[in-house]
Chains A and B, each alone.
Chain A
Amino acid sequence: MARDECNQRLASAPRLALLGLALFAAVPGRADDDTLTVLSWGGAYERAQQAALFSPYTAATGTPIEVAQYDGGLEGLRRAVAEDEVSWDLIDMTRSEAMAACAEGLLEPLSPALLAPAPDGTPPEEDFLPDSFGRCAITHSIFATVVAYRRDAFPGTRPDSIEDLFDQQRFPGPRALQRTPAVNLEWALLSYRVPHEELYGLLSTRRGLDLALARLDKLEEIHWWEAGDTPPQLLAEGEVAMASGYNGRFFDAMVNRGAPIEILWDGQVQEHETWAIPRGAPHPEAARDFLRFATTTERLADLSRHIPYGPARRSAAVRVTTHPDSGVDMRLHIPTHPLNAERALAKDEVWYARTLGRMRDYFEAWLATREAQ
């Protein structure tokens, strides 16, 4: 039964995608009155959404979808809401930004009641992963910040724990890390074998922060990256031996571009990616309809075939199959797969909402003294 469904979907997905693309090409950039506008992240991610969500939706309902790109951040939304000129119907946001936007009143409240049940009738409340429903945002995928390394950098051995990121004796070579306190501080403290449950509590103390920064300080050569596609590039070019980055980008480099890199899943930091409807959206009802469609088990499982993010629904996670182009089994590449998630850390977004400013100050001050030396 389940296999039949899969086969059917395998057969129909490319056709739907083609149809969607054809429809899309027919109305380039023209915003009809009933056109839905979605704000998303561009690149490989947008291509995956196009194939798994936007085109099938247009094919099913006839409503065209137009996509606008952004790189995160709330400034644009803040300005649009203030000037009452919101042009987007839906925004794909990280949960931490959605929480902040919701607190500022920039988003419409959303009820989990609008979500579809799983194919076997399981209600969404039981099917979605814990903490998927915010007041204004609904999680659709889980992405992860992970460490990746060059397969040829450490002959005869390979890193198997997050502690190895800081062990330049056993695993020599430069590192690339994101220029932000987030994730780096978590990993630094985890390398002391701090239990996950106590991590953010101890990071809130002066001693914990000092320990974390001291660990980072021990690293001899750090390339600081800011754009998400830098770390796979640095690894592929052999500039660094280990780098932090988003798991989707590393997958892209590995599978689509054949870069000789491997992901270290230990210590991966998971974050939620959500759908939200901005306040003053032109088509709030159609946006809700799309949200229901885009978070069905079938669509979420299909999205994970195109980009290795963990579906927020348990029923979707078990239906993930192979990458449409390469035939790679996608289940092994999504962060929420039990093998990968064994020692995963859930990013504490509430904690960051309270402390990010101060953490950034400490981090930048440390960075300044490090660079002065």
Chain B
Amino acid sequence: MGQYGPLVHLGATLGSLGAQLLRLGRSDDNITIACGVAAAIATAFNAPLAGIVFAHEVVLRHYALRAFAPVAAAALVGYVIATNVLERGALFHVVDTAVPRPWEFVAFLAIGGLGALVAGAYMHAILGVTRLAGTLTLAPSLRPALAGALLGLTALWVPDILGMGQETLRFATIAGAFGSAELLLVLVLKIAATGLCLGMGFSGGVFSPALVIGTLFGALCGSLVGQLSGAPQETFVFYAVCGMVAVTSPVIGAPLTSLLIVFELTGSYALTTAALASVTLASPIAAQLFGRSLFDIQLERRGLDLSAGRGRAVLRTTPVAEHLTDDCVTLHPQTPVAEAVTTLCRARHGEGYLVDERGRYRGCVSLADLEAARESTAGPARVDEVATLARPVLQPDTSLWDAMAELQDVTGEALPVVDPAADDAFRGVVFESSIARAYLAHSDELSREEHGTG
């Protein structure tokens, strides 16, 4: 289980708490959350640049100058505390290595492509077990116990799958520490064990296991390349690091962050360039096949789609009911047409909404149709006999985004809001113009948030 996930969560929670204490708005709240996340990453990895980029890449999902300064300051403070107060050792070190030969970059690219698949297997192991766990008849509190028992039994045989895997990760960067078959075994078991434990409800992050899995995978590729080419394994650590980045970056959806973590941990430009080759292929392949990141897939399954950026997500989660008004004409279906015309004219509205004695919505009629019915002698005498307009209805929890989509096929003044949970009760209307105005206002705010400077 990872420690970084909970750390980042804690950082975000503290950031959000800070925003609540200062009574800041949603946009500033996002920035304080990003600050907390950046500080957590900077402290955990001694990597302030990675912290800053992670906050932008994964949390904010845009680059605004107004967010940069606070996020950078938070990351810097985290870094200073990490290096001076906590004095935690780095995650791993590398000795001075040889520079890879040109053809090896092809191997690094290939590791990227295959790493995306390993990342997919890892993510689907977690998601699959989570789904499976939901169908188990076992009490939720006992599920981690079952996973722990299975894990413990496996670990008696292969202890390398346990814990944070820091030693496993370090050994995997060393040529000759594991045999190829052993690497494959630990790799498969680590994926299975992590999927099992997280899916069954262990608390912990997905990042550290991804680092270990990636490193094992890279080491496996490295030793296979070594066996095939017969070359001395001076660049072994490159393969391990490439595998690490190729798997981690799709899982967290942050290619730049992964690269910067490598750069800030090792200070090796050659290593970062090699990792870049892997990320170049790993990120797009994984994004096409699986989704932007494990977090995005999980959120999407909960109904929050971040694939088109935060702006869309905000519009999707803002309920249209905020703009609900009862400034409309409701008509009883039994109302005579002439009376309805008079009512609408007095209220200066072009549309009336039919609501029966039990408060249920029955349709929408236009003043023009009513007028035509009154003129024709053989026409209907009551409003419920007049043809109703084809008018989509909204629900109280319909989002601004969906309301805007409904508007595309409507010409009229307002959309009725009906609550299906209360037997189709009529709640009021939302004017087309207020939907459009709210949409514009939100877009405007988001654009200010993303491009604003102060």
Residues of A in contact with B (beta carbons under 8 Å apart) = 192-198, 201-202, 205, 207-208, 211
Contacts and interface: CB of A to CB of B under 8 A. Distances in A.
Contact of A211 (B90, B95, B177): B177
Interface size class for chain B?
10 to 19
Nearest to B159: A206
A194 B95 CA distance: 7
Contacts of B94: 195
18 contacts: A192-B174, A192-B175, A192-B177, A193-B174, A194-B95, A194-B174, A195-B94, A196-B93, A196-B95, A197-B89, A198-B92, A198-B170, A202-B170, A202-B171, A205-B167, A207-B167, A207-B177, A208-B167
B265 to A, nearest CB: 11
Contacts of A207: 160, 167, 171, 177
B175 A198 contact: no
A201 B167 contact: yes
A198 B93 contact: yes
B176 interface: yes
Interface of B is mostly: loop
Contacts of A201: 167, 170
Contacts of B167: 201-202, 205, 207-208
A113 B170 CA distance: 42
Nearest first, the 10 closest Cβ-Cβ pairs linking A and B are A195-B93, A197-B93, A195-B95, A192-B174, A205-B167, A193-B95, A198-B170, A198-B93, A192-B176, A194-B174
* Max chain A Cβ within 10 angstroms of own Cβ: one of B92, B160, B175, B176: B176
Nearest to B92: A198
Given A194-B95, A201-B170, A207-B167, 15 more contacts: A192-B174, A192-B176, A192-B177, A193-B95, A195-B94, A198-B93, A198-B170, A201-B167, A202-B167, A202-B171, A207-B160, A207-B171, A208-B167, A208-B171, A211-B176
B210 to A, nearest CB: 21
A213 B176 CA distance: 13
A197 B175 CA distance: 17
A203 to B, nearest CB: 11
A78 B201 CA distance: 56
Interface of B: 89-90, 92-95, 160, 167, 170-171, 174-177
Contacts of B176: 192, 211
B48 to A, nearest CB: 20
Contacts of B89: 197
A45 B170 CA distance: 41
Nearest to A210: B177
Interface of A is mostly: helix
Contacts of B175: 192-193
A207 B171 CA distance: 9
Contacts of A208: 167, 171
Contacts of A196: 93, 95
A198 B169 CA distance: 12
A208 B171 CA distance: 8
A198 B168 CA distance: 12
A198 B173 CA distance: 12
Nearest to B234: A193
Contacts of A194: 95, 174
Contacts of B95: 193-196
Nearest to B176: A192
B79 to A, nearest CB: 19
Nearest to A195: B93
A195 B174 CA distance: 9
Contacts of A198: 92-93, 170
Nearest to A202: B170
* Max chain B Cβ within 10 angstroms of own Cβ: one of A198, A205, A208: A198
A202 B89 CA distance: 14
A47 to B, nearest CB: 39
Contacts of B177: 192, 207, 211
A205 to B, nearest CB: 5
B178 to A, nearest CB: 8
A205 B177 CA distance: 12
Contacts of B93: 195-198
A208 to B, nearest CB: 7
A211 B90 CA distance: 23
Nearest to B170: A198
A201 B170 CA distance: 10
Nearest to B233: A193
A194 B90 CA distance: 14
Contacts of B160: 207
Contacts of A197: 89-90, 93
B28 to A, nearest CB: 41
B450 to A, nearest CB: 41
A365 B175 CA distance: 26
* Max chain B Cβ within 10 angstroms of own Cβ: one of A193, A196, A197, A208: A193
B233 to A, nearest CB: 9
Contacts of B170: 198, 201-202
A205 B165 CA distance: 12
A197 to B, nearest CB: 5
B445 to A, nearest CB: 48
* Max chain A Cβ within 10 angstroms of own Cβ: one of B90, B174, B175: B174
A196 to B, nearest CB: 8
A69 B177 CA distance: 44
B226 to A, nearest CB: 14
A191 to B, nearest CB: 9
A11 B160 CA distance: 64
Nearest to A192: B174
A208 B160 CA distance: 12
Contacts of A205: 167, 171
A118 to B, nearest CB: 27
B322 to A, nearest CB: 56
Contacts of A193: 95, 174-175
B120 to A, nearest CB: 29
A170 B412 CA distance: 89
B166 to A, nearest CB: 9
